[in-house]
């Protein structure tokens, strides 16, 4: 019966049986005809290494279905079609006959936007490394990336309501959550589409996973683990208008629950526009100007900057110049100017953003900090550090590199944007010592269909030319030039035109940087799953300080409220201890018995300590300094140190950060 069933399925799909049907598990028994070639031979690697670790590359940031975003006509072509490749890989209607109305092409790329709109079978002008508006994620090209060694793919569901609203061509609503739901649905349909080629449910290589254990089993079986993420500007309707939030805590809970039920396990809380949750990391130059205008049109506010208080900074916007986008501003509205010495977004993590971060942590989800301004990202990591929560991701080089050790220290994962091989190798080298220190693998974020350029051709006379065919990094497959229709791509002359050329790009990295340059990449799957798994198993520590006896050097006198020391350990974030307005003040806690103390969290009021110590004692008389700082900046601080037995914990303020005293909403003491 099975051969008959497969034959019937093949007829229904318009396909014929593969010549290798029934012999190679990685070869479909019913691939659509015609279709793209894969041009990879050899069995995909399975199992684990000698240490029991999974292996393989991680694309930590891709947008498979953004052709359904932005109103549905910005990215042309589909990831798959039940009507076949000719239907999937065709241009948008308005691009015919010569690309004259490919408006977004010439807005983002310059020139007149003209191009040959014909996709399959000739592909004269697209996909291309510098085309931002044509499908680069056709499913068979993803298959080639998998065959070349990739084992994790993060599909970020993406859209932007403002881009949708101002773009000339659209065929659906601009509501962001409607688009996110559709893209999730199509990801599951793609899984079904591929399963059908392999004989039924669960048999294909494209496997959507919702926990790290499931992902490990998929990778051990030699298949591709697909994780759903979200990257959108106003999630859950959480936009701000004139700095007034348009969502509530109930909206956030409802939205997070819905996304979790869809299978989403990682997300950005802000992207491009400041919203009701957090401030963004700016875009630069003319694109930054256009996005700033878009923010104003959506929210009524432009970006606001301030001087940075640390070495970290957002992308500079002081040199932003007027573009055609400024013509969209209401009459009499001018683009602000920005001081060159004020390059940090004034908006950080809002109270609702704090609630959303904690909501993600409660649901064991991972937070993407790329696109967060450094102020917001720092505050989000403050929260994670206070709870020892590892689930932080930087997936495509939008994080200030100075955060690298902090992310790794938490247990997080970092991937670099798909830069040219030379740039990728150079940036990887800058953080190589930290990956060695924290035993971390590395990833890449291709950001295909994400409105960004990709590695350009390097030519054939560079001395490090990729020669075809070549052997995969694992050594088990042979990879030749990739052909779809009548077009054959070569990484040397075509650049990274589509996702199927990822194996070729990795070979280019190997040629430029040597075998060591791809070693950390091949450990990426294990490292990504380590972060995810640690997030899933995280348990909130027991606060040893809650409700304990507290004393202080002084307490500010107020006839209307109490600022006594016990207010810092009463579990109420709205109350606080406050000292007199002078230095050398302390707050002392008696835990009641000796405990191993490893972590102390301090939730400062506006009156914070710039220089202070965490002191520990077993008898309340002899003290040792466990941790200290001279650069405290207020907010939520976490002091972590090797475990010390102590019954008494003292926060000893030496230098105030303001003219007021020292004031703490809550102090937490933890053994983990």
Q: Alpha carbon of 659 to those of 405, 492, 610: distances in Å?
A: 33, 62, 11
Q: What is the mean pLDDT of residues 610-630?
A: 97
Of the listed ranges 257-261, 331-335, 376-380, 388-392, the least confidently predicted one is: 331-335
Give the whole-angstrom CA distance, residue 177 versus residue 255: 9
Torsions phi, psi for 254 (to 5 deg): -60, -45
Q: Which pLDDT score is estimated for 319?
A: 57
Q: What is the pLDDT of residues 71-101, one digit of tens each?
A: 989 999 999 999 999 999 999 999 999 988 8
- Which of left, alpha, beta for 665 (phi over 0: left; psi -120 to 50: alpha)? alpha
Q: What is the pLDDT of residues 530-571, one digit of tens each?
A: 999 999 999 989 999 999 999 999 999 999 999 999 999 999
Q: What is the mean pLDDT of the chain?
A: 93
* Res 135 pLDDT > 50: yes
Give the whole-angstrom CA distance, residue 278 versus residue 155: 23
Residue 108's pLDDT band (cuts 50, 70, 90):
low
Which residues lie across from 134 on neighbouring strands?
76
As a three-state string, the secondary structure of 251-315 is HHHHHHHHHHHHCEEEEECCECECCCCECECCCCHHHHHHHHHHHHHHHCCCCCEECCCCCCCCC
Give the whole-angstrom CA distance, residue 215 versus residue 187: 16
Instruction: Provide the total of helices (H) and of strands (E) in the chain, helices listed first.
Output: 18, 25
* Res 1 pLDDT > 80: no
Chain center to CA of 550: 42
Rounded to 10 degrees, what is the CA torsion of 156, 161, 163, 166?
160
Closest of 244, 298, 246 to residue 271, by C-alpha: 298
Question: pLDDT over 90 for what percent of the chain?
Answer: 83
Q: What is the mean pLDDT of residues 102-108?
A: 73
Q: Which pLDDT score is estimated for 15?
A: 34
* Res 481 pLDDT > 90: yes
Q: What is the pLDDT of residues 28-61, one digit of tens each?
A: 999 999 999 999 999 999 999 999 999 999 999 9
* Res 5 pLDDT > 80: no
The radius of gyration of the chain from alpha carbons, rounded to an integer in Å, stands at 27
* Res 623 pLDDT > 80: yes
Taking a C-beta distance cutoff of 8 angstroms, is the pair 609, 662 a contact?
A: yes
Q: What is the pLDDT of residues 428-437, one digit of tens each?
A: 999 999 999 9
Angle at which helix 421-430 crosses helix 502-513, to 10 degrees, equals 60
- Which of left, alpha, beta for 393 (phi over 0: left; psi -120 to 50: alpha)? beta
* Res 226 pLDDT > 50: yes
Q: Which pLDDT score is estimated for 13?
A: 34
Q: Which pLDDT score is estimated for 163?
A: 85
Residue 486's pLDDT band (cuts 50, 70, 90):
very high
Q: What is the mean pLDDT of residues 497-516?
A: 96
Q: Which pLDDT score is estimated for 196?
A: 97
* Res 322 pLDDT > 60: no
Closest of 553, 548, 587 to residue 570, by C-alpha: 548
Q: Which pLDDT score is estimated for 9?
A: 32
């Amino acid at each position: 019966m099975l051969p008959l069933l497969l034959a019937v399925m093949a007829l229904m799909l318009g396909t014929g049986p593969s010549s290798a049907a029934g012999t190679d598990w990685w070869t479909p028994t019913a691939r659509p005809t015609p279709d793209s070639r894969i041009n990879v031979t050899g069995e995909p690697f399975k199992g684990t290494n000698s240490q029991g670790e999974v292996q393989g590359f991680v694309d930590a940031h891709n947008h498979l279905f953004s052709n359904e975003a932005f109103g549905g006509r910005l990215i042309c072509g589909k990831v798959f079609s039940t009507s076949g490749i000719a239907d999937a890989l065709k241009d948008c209607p308005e691009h015919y006959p010569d690309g004259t109305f490919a408006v977004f092409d010439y807005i983002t790329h310059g020139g007149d936007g003209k191009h040959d709109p014909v996709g399959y079978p000739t592909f004269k002008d697209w996909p291309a490394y510098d085309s931002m508006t044509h499908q680069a994620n056709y499913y068979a090209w993803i298959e080639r990336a998998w065959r070349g060694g990739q084992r994790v793919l993060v599909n970020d569901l993406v859209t932007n309501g403002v881009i949708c609203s101002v773009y000339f061509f659209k065929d659906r609503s601009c509501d962001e959550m409607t688009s996110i739901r559709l893209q999730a649905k199509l990801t599951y349909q793609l899984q079904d589409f591929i399963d059908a080629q392999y004989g039924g449910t669960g048999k294909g290589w494209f496997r959507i996973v919702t926990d790290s254990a499931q992902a490990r089993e998929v990778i051990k079986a030699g298949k591709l683990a697909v994780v759903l993420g979200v990257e959108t500007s106003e999630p859950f309707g959480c936009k701000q208008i004139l700095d007034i939030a348009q969502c509530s805590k109930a909206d956030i809970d409802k939205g997070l629950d819905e996304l979790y039920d869809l299978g989403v396990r990682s997300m950005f809380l802000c992207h491009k526009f400041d919203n009701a949750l957090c401030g963004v990391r700016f875009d630069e130059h003319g694109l930054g100007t256009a996005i700033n205008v878009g923010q104003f049109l959506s929210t009524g506010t432009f970006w606001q900057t301030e001087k940075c208080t640390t070495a970290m900074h957002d992308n500079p916007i002081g040199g932003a110049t007027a573009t055609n986008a400024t013509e969209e501003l209401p009459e009499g509205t001018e683009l602000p100017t920005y001081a060159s010495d004020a390059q940090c977004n004034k908006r950080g993590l809002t109270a609702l953003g704090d609630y959303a971060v904690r909501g993600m942590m409660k649901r064991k989800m991972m937070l993407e900090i790329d696109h967060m301004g450094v102020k917001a990202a720092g505050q989000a990591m403050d929260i994670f550090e206070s709870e020892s929560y590892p689930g932080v991701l930087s997936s495509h080089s939008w994080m200030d590199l100075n955060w690298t050790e902090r992310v790794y220290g938490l247990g997080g994962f970092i991937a670099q944007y798909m830069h040219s091989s030379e740039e990728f190798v150079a940036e990887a080298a800058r953080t190589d010592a930290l990956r060695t220190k924290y035993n971390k693998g590395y990833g890449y974020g291709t950001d295909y269909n994400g409105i960004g350029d990709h590695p350009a051709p390097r030519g054939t006379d560079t001395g490090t030319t990729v020669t075809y065919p070549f052997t995969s990094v694992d050594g088990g497959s042979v990879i030749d030039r990739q052909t779809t229709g009548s077009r054959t791509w070569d990484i040397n002359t075509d650049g990274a035109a589509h996702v199927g050329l990822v194996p070729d790009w990795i070979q280019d990295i190997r040629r430029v940087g040597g075998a060591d340059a791809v070693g950390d990449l091949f450990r990426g799957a294990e490292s990504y799953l380590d972060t995810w798994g640690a997030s899933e198993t995280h348990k909130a520590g027991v606060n040893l300080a809650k409700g304990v006896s507290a004393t202080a050097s002084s307490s500010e006198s107020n006839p209307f409220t109490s600022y006594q020391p016990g207010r810092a350990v009463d579990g109420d974030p709205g109350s606080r201890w406050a000292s007199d307005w002078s230095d050398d003040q302390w707050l002392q806690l008696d835990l009641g018995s000796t405990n191993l103390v490893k972590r102390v969290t301090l939730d400062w009021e506006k009156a914070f300590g710039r220089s202070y110590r965490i002191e520990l004692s077993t008898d309340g008389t002899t003290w040792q300094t466990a941790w200290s700082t001279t650069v405290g900046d207020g907010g939520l601080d976490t002091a972590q140190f090797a475990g010390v037995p102590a019954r008494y914990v003292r926060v000893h303020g030496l230098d105030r950060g303001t003219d007021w005293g020292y004031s703490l909403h809550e102090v937490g003491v933890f053994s983990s």
